[in-house]
């Protein structure tokens, strides 16, 4: 856990949920500037090396490469957090929700205020879910439900969760590395297929620079926790422009260092603010 916290802090990754089990672990992360592959490589390699030395063994410690799934945060965040934090009950390591409060090896104790970890973004999750009591109510509501199909991905898994028939014919909507709506899955697949990710980042950087210049603020201020009328308007207009140029809400949130629900509110404010400004020419 110390190693995990150190590496996450250094990589700028946010941890929303986690659990350590007997022979595996789960992490729900939003990556920072350091790619996920590099973060996981540091974590697993350093842990395996120290474990082997401590137990006088050699060879591989982990059976396979870690499995990573991209999720549509706005829709599935609560379900995934519940899936991860309820793992000890589902696996039979503990029996009840009351026992979960005493299970040291998950992020649940931080969510309810028993522990505090600098590398676990408890406040973001509680803001998204409506507070501590809403989080607990949701866990109690789903503790006896089967949500184990979250091991998969894409539209096939989404329809299993939503109990809807899978009528999606586009193969890109059934990517088992992605959990999200057909539109979300297609947008990621299209981005990869067209090889235009660098161009999109360039467009975003250009939009951010233009908005900062217009409002006479810095990009550091835009991404900070600072609040002012000018910064609020700048963030609102940037969110609106970015959305009009095809950027997903989670990417806008990551760029501004705010939550996806805050992006939705910013866009609602930004539409009327954008009208009549010279920034309207930056939309496609």
Same structural domain, 116 and 160: no
Closest to 261 in 3D by CA, of 143, 124, 87, 149:
124
**Per-residue pLDDT reduced to its tens digit, 109-137:** 999 999 999 999 999 899 888 899 999 99
Which sign does the torsion angle of CA 112, 115, 120, 121 carry? positive
What's the CATH code of the domain at 95?
Answer: 3.30.70.1290
Whether the pLDDT of residue 157 is over 80: the answer is: no
In a shared domain, residues 141 and 37: yes
The reply to whether 26 and 95 lie within a common domain is: yes
Residues 76 and 121 in one domain: yes
Q: What is the mean pLDDT of the chain?
A: 80
Paired tokens of 232 = 């609020």
179 and 214 assigned to the same domain = no
Rounded CA separation 115/131 (Å): 16
Backbone φ, ψ for residue 31 (5° rounding): -70, 150
Residues 119 and 187 both lie in one domain: no
Structure-token pair, residue 148: 């184990």
Residues 6+ apart with CB under 8 A from 36: 13, 29, 68
> Among 108-117, 199-208, 252-261, whose mean pLDDT is lowest?
199-208
- pTM value surpassing 0.85: no
Residues 155 and 185 sit within 8 Å (Cβ to Cβ): yes
- Please answer whether residues 279 and 210 qualify as being in contact, where contact means their C-beta atoms are separated by less than 8 angstroms: yes
Measured distance CA(252)–CA(263) in Å, rounded: 7
Instruction: Give the count of domains, the chain.
Output: 3
Question: Does 6 lie in the same domain as 116?
Answer: yes
Residue 17 and residue 103 in one domain: yes
pLDDT (0 to 100) of residue 151: 44
Residues 183 and 48 in one domain: no
CA–CA distance, 252 with 224 (Å, rounded to integer): 14
pLDDT tens digit sequence for 34-81: 888 888 888 988 888 888 899 998 888 887 778 888 876 566 888 899
Please state, for a pLDDT cut of 70, what percent of the chain lies above it: 77
Q: Would you state the pLDDT for residue 96?
A: 94
| CA 47 and chain centroid, separation | 24
For the beta carbon of residue 184, count every other beta carbon within 10 angstroms: 25
Among 128, 120, 88, 162, smallest CA distance to 262 is for 128
Question: What's the confidence (pLDDT) of residue 160?
Answer: 45
Q: Which domain holds residue 120?
A: 2-149
Domain CATH for 259: 1.10.1750.10
For residues 110 and 168, state if they share a domain: no
């Amino acid at each position: 856990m110390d190693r995990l916290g150190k590496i996450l802090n250094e990589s700028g990754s946010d941890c929303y949920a986690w659990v350590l089990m007997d022979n595996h672990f789960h992490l729900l992360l939003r990556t920072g500037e350091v790619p996920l592959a590099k973060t996981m490589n540091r974590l697993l390699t350093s842990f395996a090396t120290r474990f082997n030395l401590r137990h006088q063994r050699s060879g591989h410690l982990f059976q396979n490469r870690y499995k990573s799934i991209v999720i549509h945060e706005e829709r599935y965040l609560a379900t995934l957090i519940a899936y991860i934090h309820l793992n000890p009950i589902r696996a039979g390591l503990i029996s009840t929700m009351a026992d979960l409060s005493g299970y040291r090896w998950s992020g649940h104790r931080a969510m309810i205020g028993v522990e505090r970890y600098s590398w676990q973004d408890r406040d973001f999750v509680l803001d998204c879910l409506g507070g501590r009591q809403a989080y607990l109510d949701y866990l109690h509501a789903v503790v006896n439900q089967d949500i184990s199909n979250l091991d998969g991905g894409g539209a096939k898994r989404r329809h299993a969760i939503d109990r809807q028939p899978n009528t999606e014919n586009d193969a890109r909507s059934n990517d088992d590395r992605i959990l999200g709506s057909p539109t979300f899955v297609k947008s990621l697949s299209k981005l990869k297929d067209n090889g235009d990710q660098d161009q999109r980042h360039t467009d975003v950087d250009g939009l951010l620079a233009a908005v900062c210049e217009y409002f006479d603020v810095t990009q550091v201020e835009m991404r900070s926790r600072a609040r002012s009328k000018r910064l609020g308007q700048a963030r609102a207009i940037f969110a609106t422009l970015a959305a009009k140029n095809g950027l997903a809400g989670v990417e806008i949130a990551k760029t501004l260092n705010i939550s996806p629900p805050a992006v939705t509110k910013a866009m609602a404010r930004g539409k009327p603010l954008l009208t009549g400004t010279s920034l309207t020419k930056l939309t496609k």
